[in-house]
Amino acid sequence: MILLSPGDILSPLQDAQYCINREKHQTLKIVDARCYSCDEWQRLTRKPS
Protein backbone atom coordinates (compact mmCIF):
# COMPACT_ATOMS: atom_id res chain seq x y z
CA MET A 1 0.00 0.00 0.00
CA ILE A 2 1.24 3.48 -0.85
CA LEU A 3 0.58 6.23 1.68
CA LEU A 4 0.60 9.86 0.67
CA SER A 5 2.04 12.53 2.90
CA PRO A 6 1.13 16.21 3.02
CA GLY A 7 3.24 17.96 0.40
CA ASP A 8 3.61 14.93 -1.89
CA ILE A 9 3.49 15.86 -5.56
CA LEU A 10 1.31 13.82 -7.92
CA SER A 11 2.48 14.03 -11.52
CA PRO A 12 0.05 12.78 -14.19
CA LEU A 13 0.93 9.82 -16.40
CA GLN A 14 -1.24 7.94 -18.90
CA ASP A 15 -4.50 6.11 -18.12
CA ALA A 16 -5.40 7.91 -14.85
CA GLN A 17 -2.06 7.04 -13.27
CA TYR A 18 0.11 9.40 -11.26
CA CYS A 19 3.68 9.11 -10.03
CA ILE A 20 4.44 10.32 -6.53
CA ASN A 21 7.15 12.97 -6.14
CA ARG A 22 8.27 12.35 -9.74
CA GLU A 23 9.41 8.81 -8.84
CA LYS A 24 8.32 6.68 -11.81
CA HIS A 25 8.53 3.48 -9.72
CA GLN A 26 5.97 4.85 -7.21
CA THR A 27 2.68 5.14 -9.05
CA LEU A 28 -0.97 5.05 -8.19
CA LYS A 29 -4.03 4.68 -10.37
CA ILE A 30 -7.18 6.70 -9.81
CA VAL A 31 -10.18 4.35 -9.90
CA ASP A 32 -12.86 6.71 -8.56
CA ALA A 33 -12.23 10.44 -8.65
CA ARG A 34 -14.28 12.66 -6.39
CA CYS A 35 -13.83 16.08 -4.88
CA TYR A 36 -11.90 15.75 -1.61
CA SER A 37 -10.62 18.44 0.69
CA CYS A 38 -7.09 18.26 2.11
CA ASP A 39 -8.52 17.00 5.42
CA GLU A 40 -10.41 14.18 3.68
CA TRP A 41 -7.31 13.07 1.76
CA GLN A 42 -5.27 13.10 4.96
CA ARG A 43 -7.90 11.00 6.75
CA LEU A 44 -7.94 8.48 3.88
CA THR A 45 -4.17 8.08 3.85
CA ARG A 46 -3.70 7.56 7.60
CA LYS A 47 -2.79 4.09 8.81
CA PRO A 48 -5.64 2.38 10.69
CA SER A 49 -5.20 2.37 14.47
**pLDDT of res. 49:** 60
3-state secondary structure 25-38: EEEEECCCCCCCCH
**pLDDT of res. 15:** 86
pLDDT, tens only, 6-41: 899 989 999 889 999 999 888 888 887 776 677 777
Q: Are 42 and 6 in contact (CB under 8 A)?
A: yes
**pLDDT of res. 20:** 92
